[in-house]
């Protein structure tokens, strides 16, 4: 049953994000008197015309997720067809700029709206903390509640800790019965002692008690703080909105850095870097979010809507950002670029993006199969 719900949630997720995106283009096109020839639910080929409103056909298509909008004259080559009354190219440049930005704007609005609700009422902890120090500052401001812990991040070779079988990645819970939350407390509890008793939290979830000899007050371990427990209170809508804007800024930065890392790694080594995922990976994330609860799924929708907005605004051919770049050039030189060149550039960009999606999806499948094999 969970698999069925996850599959349904995955289809709803992709459809919602793309439907909201295309609705942005549609609404602004209608606002500026640009004819919308078709608003498609799902992707072609067409299965059925649902109804016609004014000059727009609303259609149901065979590929059961996503959506699209077809504006009058947007793919026309001949000047007369492109510049006909009601066509996209007939509208002023600033109007076309807003129409092309409408999809990105709607995805940003959806993401910020969901994040605001989640931070206000869903006890969400923001992602935009990049260090323990930032987490502590946020806790001091009352944004989050946090309990710190100490993790053993390294064990020196031939050290007392190594001789007792202690390994990196183990949590240090207490020393001689005294709980520890910060590295400084470990040093204090070691002072003047030749042997201490560690209670360790193993990666399996079990606890283990070990007597560890000390050499000059040291066990030969590297330690660091980590957030052991994180939670958040209910917040006002204003506080939630402020956190949503901060999260949006943080995720925008991370998405752009991720795209740069993806391109750089592909060029250097023809490999997809860790942390980059495609359609199959999103399906896996959806499955996990459904298992963890509705609000986790809502947060995934918000973050993916934000990612879709950021990716679409990048100045790459076939994306909204690429088309906006052509408009900017047209505004600067005060005449449209060669239409055939624009269509060819967008077509090449489209196939490159499809190729990139195929590569990332293939990598997702390999990671899943390899992960299952290793288990």
Q: Rounded to whole angstroms, how far apart are CA atoms 361 and 323?
A: 26
**Domain locations in the chain as residue ranges:** 2-35+72-125+240-374, 145-231
CA dist 37 to 16, 18, 168, 324, 354, Å? 21, 18, 61, 21, 25
Q: Rounded to whole angstroms, how far apart are CA atoms 119 and 246?
A: 11
Selection from 34, 73, 318, 32 nearest residue 326 by Cα: 318
Supply the pLDDT for residue 373: 40
Indicate whether this model's pTM tops 0.85.
no
For the stretch 90-145, pLDDT in tens is 999 999 999 999 999 999 999 999 999 999 988 898 888 888 888 888 888 888 88
pLDDT band at residue 279, thresholds of 50, 70 and 90?
low
Correct CATH for 145-231 of 2.10.210.10, 2.60.40.10, 3.40.50.2300, 2.30.42.10: 2.30.42.10
Q: Rounded to whole angstroms, how far apart are CA atoms 340 and 99?
A: 22
- H or E element in which residue 69 lies: strand 56-71
Tell me if 262 sits within 8 A of 274, measured CB to CB: no
Burial 102-138 (b: 16+ CB within 10 A, else e): bbbbbbbebbbebbbbbbbebebbbebbeeeeebbeb
The pair of structure tokens assigned to 215 is 């050499």
Is it the case that residue 272 has pLDDT exceeding 50?
yes
Is it the case that residue 183 has pLDDT exceeding 70?
yes
Q: Which residue has the tokens 């070779």?
A: 157
Tell me if 138 sits within 8 A of 118, measured CB to CB: no
Is it the case that residue 219 has pLDDT exceeding 60?
yes
Supply the pLDDT for residue 332: 92
For the stretch 43-71, pLDDT in tens is 889 999 999 998 899 999 998 777 899 99
pLDDT band at residue 375, thresholds of 50, 70 and 90?
very low
More confident residue, 259 or 25: 25
Is it the case that residue 372 has pLDDT exceeding 50?
no
Supply the pLDDT for residue 115: 95
């Amino acid at each position: 049953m969970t698999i069925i719900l996850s599959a349904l949630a995955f289809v709803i997720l992709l459809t919602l994000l793309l439907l909201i995106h295309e609705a942005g283009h549609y609404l602004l096109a209608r606002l500026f008197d640009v004819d919308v020839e078709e608003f498609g639910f799902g992707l072609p080929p067409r299965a059925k015309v649902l109804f016609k409103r004014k000059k727009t056909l609303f259609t149901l298509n065979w590929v059961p997720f996503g959506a699209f909008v077809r504006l009058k004259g947007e793919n026309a080559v001949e000047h007369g067809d492109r510049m006909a009354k009601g066509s996209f190219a007939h509208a002023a440049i600033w109007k076309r700029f807003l129409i092309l930005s409408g999809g990105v704007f709607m995805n940003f609005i959806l993401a910020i709206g969901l994040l605001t609700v989640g931070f206000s009422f869903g006890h969400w902890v923001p992602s935009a903390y990049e260090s323990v120090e930032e987490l502590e500052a946020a806790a001091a401001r009352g944004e989050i509640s946090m309990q710190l812990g100490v993790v053993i991040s390294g064990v020196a070779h031939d050290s007392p800790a190594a001789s007792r079988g202690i390994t990196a990645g183990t949590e240090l819970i207490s020393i001689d019965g005294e709980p520890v939350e910060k590295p400084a407390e470990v040093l204090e509890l070691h002072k003047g002692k030749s042997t201490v008793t560690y209670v360790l939290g193993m990666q399996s979830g079990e606890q283990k008690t070990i007597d560890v000899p000390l050499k000059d007050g040291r066990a030969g371990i590297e330690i660091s703080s980590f957030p052991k427990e994180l939670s958040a209170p209910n917040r006002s809508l204003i506080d939630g909105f402020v956190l949503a804007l901060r999260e949006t800024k943080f995720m925008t930065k991370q998405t752009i850095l991720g795209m740069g890392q993806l391109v750089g790694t592909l060029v250097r080594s023809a490999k997809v870097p860790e942390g980059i995922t495609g359609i199959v990976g999103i399906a896996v994330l959806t499955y996990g979010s459904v298992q963890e609860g509705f609000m986790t799924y809502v947060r995934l929708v918000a973050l993916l809507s934000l990612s879709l907005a950021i990716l679409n605004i990048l100045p790459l051919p076939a994306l909204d950002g690429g088309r906006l770049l052509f408009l900017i050039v047209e505004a600067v030189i005060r005449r449209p670029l060669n239409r055939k060149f624009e269509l060819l550039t967008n077509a090449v960009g489209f196939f490159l993006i499809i190729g990139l999606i195929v590569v990332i999806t293939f990598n997702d499948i390999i990671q899943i199969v390899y992960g299952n094999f290793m288990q």
